[in-house]
């Protein structure tokens, strides 16, 4: 996981992350990693439209972002 975060910081690629905060709330977020630090990462969160700090311990999953196509009802 750390390798994915470091590469994303270098390449500015957008990631999708499953995250659990300190209160136990689970969220799925679209992020762009700004900096990887010892215990947390700084990332632009597209959900909140701002740079946020995320504890590495709270990151359950991280993977490349894939834009989803809308489903056409017909």
Is residue 64 predicted with pLDDT exceeding 60? yes
Higher local confidence (pLDDT), 69 or 36: 36
Average pLDDT of span 53-66: 96
Q: Can you tell me the distance from the alpha carbon of 42 to that of 36, in angstroms, rounded to the nearest whole number? A: 6
Cα–Cα dist 10/6, whole Å:
6
For residue 36, pLDDT over 80 is answered with yes
Q: Is the dihedral of CA 45, 49, 51, 55 positive or negative?
A: negative
Edge-to-edge strand list for the sheet holding 26-36: 50-55, 40-45, 26-36, 14-20, 59-64
CA atoms within 13 A on the CB side of 63: 6
Q: What is the mean pLDDT of residues 25-30?
A: 97
Predicted confidence (pLDDT) at residue 71 exceeds the cutoff of 70: no
Question: Is pLDDT of 23 > 90?
Answer: yes
Domains and CATH numbers, the chain: 2-63 (2.30.30)
């Amino acid at each position: 996981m750390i390798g994915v975060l470091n590469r994303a910081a270098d390449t500015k690629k957008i990631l999708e992350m499953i995250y659990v905060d300190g209160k136990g709330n689970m969220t799925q977020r679209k992020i762009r990693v700004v900096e990887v630090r010892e215990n947390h990462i700084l990332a632009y969160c597209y959900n909140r439209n701002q740079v946020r700090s995320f504890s590495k311990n709270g990151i359950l999953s991280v993977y490349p972002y894939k834009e989803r196509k809308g489903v056409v009802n017909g």
